[in-house]
Every structure is written in C-alpha cells, then in structure tokens.
Amino acid sequence: MSRAPLALAFGLAAAASCQGLAPVEPCGEIPANGCPVGRGGTCDDLTCDALYDCAGGAWTRVQTCLQPDAGPALGGSDGGLDAGGDGACTPVHIDADGGATDCTPDLAFPDCPVQAAETCAESACLTGCSDFFLCTAPGWVDVAYCTDQGQLIVTQ
C-alpha cells in the first residue's frame, strides 16, 4: 500500500483548515530607535527610546523609555525629558485599578490599549490612536482620548 494518497489527503486537510485565518499585515520598518515589544524589546535595552507593538500593519508606541544615560543627542542626562524645553515630558498617569487581561474582542486601530497613552502627555496623541481603553473584568473601558488639536484628555 502506497503512502502517497494518505500524505496527499493529510496535506489537503491541513491546507483547508488554514483558509479561515486573516492575512498577516507586516508593519515594515520600526521607527528610529524603537524596539518591538512582541520580540522581547524592553526599556532595559539602552538603545530603545520607545517600545512599539505591531498591530494591523502599523507600529503603535506603547511605552516611552526613560534612559538616564542617553547622552547629549537626546537632550542631556535625563534623556531629553526636561520640563522646561522642547523635550518636555509630562508623565501620564491613568488609574488602572481593576485592570484585567485578555479582553475580547481585540481593539481596532485607532482605538488603543491604555499603555499607548502612558508615555508623555505631549506625545501620546502622536501614535495615531484616538481613544485609549483599559481592559477590565467586564470588558473595555474608555479612559482617555485625543482631541482634534492633539491634546490627551484623561477621563478616569
């Protein structure tokens, strides 16, 4: 008995089971000095100015890395985050009490998880996100949004 028909039948069944999957949308090149969180990027890496997540074919900033030894190219020893200059960074704090994981359905861009807003207030709306949501036990809760002028408004 030949194994070829069995292998062919198995191959056709496997191919048919994959047809319902959505196509992968690559994000392309990550923004300069950015590190992908999905591939193990962390702010412990001194070369990472920010962490990005690839979703729906676009890079979304999920965290700004505060690098204490970033050097003069980034505006000084505080990584360019002096409150009085062009590199101003007002930290964003959103009350995440009651936060959970694995909310469904997934958010669709331009809706983003709250972590994308917890960077600098001056740059949170530069991500392209319009609303920021916190995953809670009952589901997603809208906790912040960007105005048409690019200002972050925290509602929680």
105 cis-preceded (ω within 30 degrees of 0): yes
Give residue for tokens 């070829």.
Answer: 4
3-12, 62-71, 88-97, 113-122: which has the minimum mean pLDDT? Answer: 3-12
pLDDT for the residue numbered 77? 32
User: For residue 36, which of 50, 47, 24, 46 has the smallest C-alpha distance?
Assistant: 50
pLDDT for the residue numbered 132? 92
pLDDT for the residue numbered 46? 80
User: For residue 64, which of 112, 121, 24 has the smallest C-alpha distance?
Assistant: 121
Q: What is the average pLDDT across 14-26? A: 55
Which pTM value belongs to this model?
0.46
pLDDT for the residue numbered 135? 92
38-42, 62-66, 128-132, 151-155: which has the minimum mean pLDDT? Answer: 38-42
Residue 145 pLDDT level (bands cut at 50, 70, 90): very high
Helix extents (H) in the chain: 4-17
Question: In the sheet where 152-154 sits, what is the strand order?
Answer: 111-113, 131-136, 139-146, 152-154
CB 30 within 8 A of CB 51: no
Residues 6 or more apart whose CB falls under 8 angstroms from that of 77 comprise 68, 69, 70, 71
In which region does residue 88 sit, left (phi positive, over 0), alpha (psi from -120 to 50) or beta (all else)? beta
- Is 60 a residue whose pLDDT tops 70? yes
Residue 43 pLDDT level (bands cut at 50, 70, 90): confident
Whole-angstrom Cα distance, residue 26 to residue 56? 8
